[in-house]
Structure 1
Amino acid sequence: MSTNSLREILKGAICRDRDHALAFFLWAFLKYEPEHLRQNAEWFGLNERMLNDVETTVKNTLEQLRLTYDFKISEEITRAAADCLENFSLEFEKITKERVSKLTDLERRVLRHASLWMRNMKTTHYLFNDDKKVFIAESIDTNELVDSLCVVLKADYSQIYGLVYRILAQTGLAFAYISGSSRHTYYSIIIPRYALSIIEELAVEAEKELQNVTERLHNLNSMQLAAIAGGFFEADNTFYNVYGISHFEYLQSLNIEGVCYKGYVNYSLKGLITNFLIEMVNERCQRLYNRLYKVLKDQGYELDIVDKADNKHLYCRIKAVKPGQHAVIIYIEPFAYKLPFLYEKSVLVFEGPIAKPEEFKNVVVVGMSEGFGGVKVVVDNAGTSWSKDMVEAFNRLSLQPMPSEPSVQAKPAEELSWEDLEEAVVDVLERLGFRGIFGRRPDRDVKLDARGGGKIEVDVWGWKQVGSTRLNIYVSCKNWNRDVDRSVVDEEFGRTLQLNEIPQIKVIVAKRFTDTAKKVAQADGFIVIELGDVSTVDEARNLIYKQLRDFFTGIAPPDLQRLANEVKQITDKLRSIADEMEKLSAYYS
């Protein structure tokens, strides 16, 4: 007998009406969890007699067909139950919508955020990859759904646990159960296909309630972000060694609206927050690489970014290689919650002072200031030649001027390379508060995703969070000895339109433009910056900074513009007074 025939026989024997279809569905999926089976049926409104009737019918059918109940038969029974429920999907969708509409405000809020978690976490059940009639949202060892609702509702676990499971089953939106093995506990939600559109609508409502989360994340420091990351990805002693407090204790004290509460984190936002952290890590990685490149180059090292942060790990790795020696791996983990696997020669770079640097054995430990603008502490726990090289490099880095300060080194403009010009632009964007800045460096082209697929190479790219809006800036650097003509401007304009993220601010920097090119660029929305005959790198940097600063000041409200002008006048007066005092000091010394 074919399994398809068995499926049809079971459907014919049991699927007499809507209630029998749901009873069959629940029994097929929860027969090994009898307590959850009875509870879900009761919450929806089915009695135990109907469940017993389904079980008896299945067993009698198998006995008549002389079939042994094994794994393969169990799978076919479950498929038959899913097919049976599908026959009444329109009726169940209508019932679910009616029941959702009658919920109290609190119950609907619970269901909204449960739907957001289910939408973000569901995977196709392994039995039904072919027709996708049933979905499972599952978490292992942590009840992510309940934890997420504790954050949103600012409630304790015991208050939420029974409430959310009851509402899911009562409305028919989904059915929960808990199972376990010797190693793990599984928290699973069964989602019938008829509920998917309703879940999507409710999830959108929940997203609107959490729409300011990204803005809140930008206001957090590295320790707070590390605590949240550790909540999602299981922190180890690294958090304690860097920040001087246990991760559990600190997360318990942290209360960030919609994100975390009393040790719980909102897993519905895990993807969004992870992407935010990935971008922040890679931004700091690129910034440190930009500053380390020349320092370590002088010491005979070649540098390369070999790994960037992604969904698997929130750190990046820079490889520093000196001819004839083993590579040194520099791990950049601004948000310190868990130590990665370390190679023999490793440098650990965190953000902030290191509470217990001695706990990181046989490595160099570096503590950077907020945003990786400078170096706070360097500790050598390896005591070898390579570690001394790294300590020297980071100490030299700490003595270098910050990106917001003009460099003391003067270099004639005619000797400017394209690297120098792009580094100047990167410095300016950092001074203006942009993040996620990527500038091209030797052998490391920056490429962004294109709308039609593939990648597009750019010179400099950055972003800045303004309220709930992310402001992207695109800068094209043309350090040419000839004038930039219209064809170049048209090419740059077309390039920006092909990017997945079209920048709100477009800048093109060159020594000179033809008159037509300048007019077309301005008409296309570019900020045009002509370097002309500047004589030093500092002059080029200051010119770019002044024009971009004037642009941002010019679009500010009049009161803010007036205040900026007054501050500038006061600054000029103070600088004049300082000059006079210096002259007097020299005169009397």
Structure 2
Amino acid sequence: MSASINLRDVEEIINSLVKKGVEYAVALYPFFFSFDEERYRNVVETIRSAFGEEIAEKVYREITEAFKNINFMTEVIVKDEKIYLRDYLERYILKEDIKRIILNEIENRFNRMSEEDRKILSIASAAINVLKRKSYSGIYVDYPSHRVGGIRVSSTEIFSRLVSSILRYEISDVRRFFYKYILGFQGDYSSRRYYTNALEIYPFAIPYIEKLASKISDYIKIPDKSKIRSILEEMYQRGEYIKIALIDHSLEAGRSESQFLSYFSGLTFRQLCKEVVIENMFNDCFVNPLVYEEIREAIKDLYNKALDDLIKIFREIFERQGYRVGCANDHCAFARPGARPIHVFFYPWPKSPPYYVLEEIPGAVKSVVMQGIPTQLILQTDSLRSYGEKGYLWFFIERDKILIVSNTYKHEDHYELLRILKDHFFIETIGSVPKELEESLTSLLTKPAALTQPVSLPQISPIKRFGGRDLLEDIVASVLYSLGFTVKVDHKIVGKAGTEIEVDVWGEKYVGDIRFIVYASCKNWDKPVEISIVREEFGRILQLPLIPHVRVIVAPSFTEPAKKEAIADGFVVIETGERAVEDNMNRIYKNVYDKLNKLFIGVAPKWMQELAERARKVAEEIRKIGEELEKIAGTPS
């Protein structure tokens, strides 16, 4: 026992509250579970869904009054163990008699459940059953949960959208169905850095989750493995590469936006997510977790088969030209005496090639071959630009047609490639055709009609207008937007002291259930940023209610002391070298994008780092193959 708190007195308070009705028993756990900031919301939201608004407010008032003079963080001694009072009370309210009261209520509600609500809970419960054993991007299911010992579903906003994607209609918050019938409770919490919404389910209520999950086939038809493979293979045969690419992207990166796929398709990523629907398999960029592994396995096998088929076409073409061929994964090296080695990366459907495989291959001709015909917007993608700058000629291929990305063509490097391919494909171009490419095609092609000029479209800048007071703000906001952040410019936040703080650019992005925040200060000045400005910015950050994970300061130049101070204060310092104006905004965008993209790749999650490591190994393997082929072919290295 504690000298300051008599546990029997506290237990009596609980017992007297429980005698008032089951709603009090249900409310006690979220009351003890929650910290002060979330207690009201967690209790009232839980009880409102199950018992109504009026009862929810009444129950909260009475419980608050009953415990008004008790500090739950007081340490007490129980069986020679020192614990917090809160932890003791959480155990106490799960004792058998209180548990039985809640269970009886669950049973009554379960039997009175409407068929439509049963369908919603059946789908949600089936998803929980899968996710408590397997990971799923953006959603976390803990089982057994840390404090309650039942099931905890974090990121329930995303979970609700996942359930909605299977239902094919929107459920704003699926938790309220669990509150109403399973008497689960809301377990939201916040810290200085992030806010998490969560659903807690008691351990004794788990059998009801299992019952609901077992009835999933009453409501939706789950395709089996062979059906899934058949659907995906038919899509591939119909040339629906962008649809398959979106599923592949969602398996790898969840619902994070892909600039490459958006520009390839000519749709915003949101539009693309709404466009691609495969019943009971994929909707709104959610892969149905009930068949997640089957879809992933089918996509992997389809990718490998499609890759083999694509490589086979080029292997046969080059072998007829006397080249020796060596391949590893999606890379092939082609070599013959007296010719420069040719290295080609193959992609059987649209996919943004990873930046970290961009390695110099001395003396080699380099190319990327990707299946599918893109829109003109593809010319604006960062990956195409980066590969082009490294000397890679981009080809998009569909059946007997090849589309050359004209601004990646260099006559001295790529003419031989065109000469080899001209007899096997109709060659067209995308983008304005430089004179050297036009001359090359004219000299190579026997059918002039095969050279088609695309419709001239205005150059599309990656810079969006977010309404910033200064162009540099819009540039930085556009960079963060391209990197998948939700952005706000001239964003006003009430600081700790109650005063309003205005942030030039504020970026947010959910990484799992963590709200990742970027703070950017933009100084588009004619003079260097002084040390006093850096200190002022640092002081402003310390006054924010949430400290950003990354703080960035962008300006044409800094004094040396200011730069040192900014770095010491944890800022990412980006010098643009010039004031941002309309004429140079794309150049400044590229500068800022490259620096921030490199930063975020550097702190990439483990799966991405593992992917990079695999890519490095493949690159080393392809280099060795190339060297061996050169020796065999007698080509000097």
TM-score (norm 1): 0.50
1:245 aligns with 2:267: yes
Q: 2:345 aligns with which of 330, 336, 357?
A: 330
- Relative distance call for 1:150 and 1:319 in structure 2 (3 A) is same
Distance 1:10 1:351 in 2: 73
Distance 1:7 1:267 in 2: 51
1:278 aligns with 2:300: yes
Distance 1:64 1:75 in 2: 5
1:367 aligns with 2:396: yes
- Relative distance call for 1:289 and 1:63 in structure 2 (3 A) is closer
- Relative distance call for 1:290 and 1:28 in structure 2 (3 A) is farther
- Relative distance call for 1:125 and 1:276 in structure 2 (3 A) is same
Specify the code of the residue in structure 2 equivalent to 1:334: W
- Relative distance call for 1:354 and 1:8 in structure 2 (3 A) is farther
**What does residue 27 of structure 2 align with?**
23
Residue 364 of structure 1: SS of its match in structure 2?
A: strand
Q: CA RMSD in A?
A: 4.8
Number of positions where the alignment pairs a residue of Structure 1 with one of Structure 2: 369
Residue 45 of structure 2: SS of its match in structure 1?
A: helix
1:134 aligns with 2:150: yes
**What does residue 221 of structure 2 align with?**
210
Q: Which has the higher contact order (CA 8 A, sep 6+)?
A: 2
**What does residue 185 of structure 2 align with?**
175
**What does residue 37 of structure 1 align with?**
43
- Relative distance call for 1:193 and 1:332 in structure 2 (3 A) is farther
1:383 aligns with 2:383: no
Instruction: Give CA deviations for 1:71-112 in whole Å, capped at 9, x if unaligned.
Output: xx9987357525633645565445324312212221111111
**What does residue 77 of structure 1 align with?**
86
Distance 1:227 1:7 in 2: 60
Specify the code of the residue in structure 2 equivalent to 1:138: S
**What does residue 304 of structure 1 align with?**
328
Q: 1:150 aligns with which of 143, 164, 186?
A: 164
Residue 172 of structure 2: SS of its match in structure 1?
A: helix
**What does residue 242 of structure 2 align with?**
223
Shift of 1:36: 3.5
Distance 1:228 1:111 in 2: 26
Shift of 1:352: 1.7
**What does residue 79 of structure 2 align with?**
none
Shift of 1:366: 3.2
Shift of 1:171: 0.8
Matches within 5 A, 1:441-460: none
- Relative distance call for 1:290 and 1:126 in structure 2 (3 A) is same
Higher mean alpha-carbon deviation, 102-111 vs 384-393, is at: 384-393
Shift of 1:355: 2.2
Distance 2:5 2:342 in 1: 63
**What does residue 379 of structure 2 align with?**
358
Percent identity over the alignment is 13
Instruction: Give CA deviations for 1:235-289 in whole Å, capped at 9, x if unaligned.
Output: 322123322333323433455434566x574654572444443332233234334
Shift of 1:331: 5.2
**What does residue 211 of structure 2 align with?**
201
Higher mean alpha-carbon deviation, 252-261 vs 111-120, is at: 252-261
- Relative distance call for 1:183 and 1:344 in structure 2 (3 A) is same
1:96 aligns with 2:106: yes
- Relative distance call for 1:224 and 1:303 in structure 2 (3 A) is closer
Distance 1:238 1:7 in 2: 64
**What does residue 622 of structure 2 align with?**
none
Residue 410 of structure 2: SS of its match in structure 1?
A: coil
Distance 2:162 2:244 in 1: 17
Shift of 1:334: 1.5
**In 1, are the aligned partners of 2:103 and 2:204 still within 8 Å (CA)?**
yes
Shift of 1:169: 0.5
Q: Which runs of 5+ in 2 are unaligned?
A: 77-81, 133-139, 360-365, 427-637
- Relative distance call for 1:65 and 1:175 in structure 2 (3 A) is closer
Specify the code of the residue in structure 1 equivalent to 2:222: Q
- Relative distance call for 1:341 and 1:176 in structure 2 (3 A) is farther
Distance 2:307 2:331 in 1: 8
- Relative distance call for 1:233 and 1:165 in structure 2 (3 A) is closer
Distance 1:245 1:358 in 2: 14
Instruction: Give CA deviations for 1:87-138 in whole Å, capped at 9, x if unaligned.
Output: 4556544532431221222111111122233233345649955x87132222
- Relative distance call for 1:211 and 1:75 in structure 2 (3 A) is farther
